[in-house]
């Protein structure tokens, strides 16, 4: 069974990036795609499509796509993914009990996390919802240190604090800033269950990040992680569709117009691409760093909100966006410094080895000369 991280991807080697830097780059792209998906999600919701149905349609689309891809990909030689050479389709959750437990747990937490996410959005002011759901980087950084043994470094703590502060300034939650024009009927803050699901959603998101990283360490395939989410996403969307029917925007049904179909297609395509990239990146990169990079979704979502929906930016919102950008720069600069240190360490190691070889060769020459002299000495 594979116990280490995957080998350096070919594209990472081509771009001259370390595996972890490549993973962070993919997560950045995933966050941008997920923010674009959010635009389509918002537009689809405006047509009366319930959020649970959106989860169902996206999970069906993504699951069908991944199942088709799994038929043509074989399990690796480690046995973690399944019988070597056999199609991944026959081993959707992995090839041994350890991998299956992690992959299934990832699907369960991911499916429940989506339900909590949509319930929170439906029952809280958007500022409150996004701020509380945005706590997952802080939870993940410390949880990954405790559970996975990932090093907790000062720049990660600084980036986490900058991200949370930026999220607060962008979202302007009512429990900090008071009444907001966008708060509407939720201004009294009476929906205590919404606050519970918000915090639970943040914890579930952190759990997903940790499980995806764990799955990468024990050799699970990215498609196994994604199909697990799709299966449990379908399951939970069906289970919760009736209980949430009264507050979910309407009843299930086919999209009512060509535009609605376009919105659904957009959220399925962009959401699926983002999800695949996130799961792949999470397998090869530390959970704490991935979670911090994932928090950039709020920055991209805010920019799209200004560009697509014409919302006028506030000065404090711009400050919040700047803080999130600073957290991304902190991560990028630190990765560059780490890469430079690694190169210098490799060069020192090579110099040391060359020195040892030179000394060894010199000793061999001296021994050879001494031996030759001894052989040529008259008795």
pLDDT per residue over 200-212, tens digit each?
Answer: 988 999 999 999 9
CB-based contacts of 168, cutoff 8 Å, min separation 6: 131, 176, 320
DSSP 246: G
Q: Among 100-104, 176-180, 222-226, whose mean pLDDT is lowest? A: 176-180
pLDDT tops 90 at residue 232: yes
Of all residues in the chain, what percent carry a pLDDT higher than 70?
Answer: 79
Closest CA to 98 of 112, 79, 76, 84: 79
Q: Is the pLDDT of residue 121 over 60?
A: yes
Band (pLDDT 50/70/90 cuts) for residue 142 is confident
Instruction: Name which residue leads in pLDDT, 43 or 362.
Output: 43
Instruction: Give the max Cα distance, the chain.
Output: 111
* Range of lowest pLDDT (138-142, 259-263, 330-334): 330-334
pLDDT for residue 291 is more than 60:
yes
User: Are 300 and 37 spatial neighbours (Cβ–Cβ below 8 Å)?
Assistant: no
Q: Flag whether pLDDT at 37 surpasses 80.
A: yes
> What pTM did the predictor assign?
0.78
Out of 118-132, 145-159, 347-361, which region has the weakest mean confidence (pLDDT)? Answer: 347-361
pLDDT at 81: 92
């Amino acid at each position: 069974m594979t116990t280490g991280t995957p080998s350096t991807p070919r594209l990472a080697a081509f771009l001259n990036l370390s595996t972890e830097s490549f993973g962070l780059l993919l997560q950045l792209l995933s966050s941008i795609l997920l923010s674009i998906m959010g635009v389509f999600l918002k537009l689809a919701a405006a047509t009366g499509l319930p959020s649970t149905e959106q989860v169902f349609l996206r999970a069906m689309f993504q699951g069908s796509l991944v199942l088709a891809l799994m038929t043509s990909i074989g399990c690796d030689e480690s046995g973690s993914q399944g019988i070597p050479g056999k199609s991944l389709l026959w081993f959707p959750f992995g090839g041994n009990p350890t991998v299956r437990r992690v992959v299934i747990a990832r699907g369960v937490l991911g499916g429940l996390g989506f339900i909590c996410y949509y319930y929170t959005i439906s029952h809280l002011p958007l500022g409150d919802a996004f701020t509380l759901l945005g706590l997952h980087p802080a939870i993940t950084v410390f949880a990954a240190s405790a559970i996975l043994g990932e090093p907790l470094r000062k720049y990660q703590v600084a980036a986490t604090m900058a991200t949370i502060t930026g999220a607060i300034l962008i979202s302007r939650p009512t429990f900090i800033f008071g009444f907001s024009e966008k708060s509407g009927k939720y201004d009294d803050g009476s929906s205590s269950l919404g606050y519970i699901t918000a915090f639970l959603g943040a914890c579930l998101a952190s759990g997903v990040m940790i499980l995806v990283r764990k799955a990468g360490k024990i050799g699970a395939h990215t498609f196994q992680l994604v199909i697990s989410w799709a299966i449990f996403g379908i399951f939970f969307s069906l289970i919760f569709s009736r209980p949430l029917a009264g507050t979910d925007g309407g009843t299930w049904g086919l999209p009512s117009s060509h535009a609605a179909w376009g919105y659904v297609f957009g959220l399925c395509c962009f959401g699926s691409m983002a999800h695949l990239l996130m799961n792949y990146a999470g397998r090869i990169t530390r959970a704490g760093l991935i979670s911090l990079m994932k928090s950039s979704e709020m920055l991209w979502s805010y920019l799209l909100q200004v560009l697509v929906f014409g919302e006028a930016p506030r000065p404090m919102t711009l400050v919040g966006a700047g803080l999130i950008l600073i957290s991304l720069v902190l991560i990028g600069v630190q990765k560059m410094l780490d890469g430079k240190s690694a190169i210098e360490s490799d060069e020192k190691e090579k110099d040391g080895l060359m020195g040892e070889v030179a000394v060894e060769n010199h000793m061999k020459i001296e021994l050879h000369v001494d031996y030759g002299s001894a052989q040529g000495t008259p008795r």
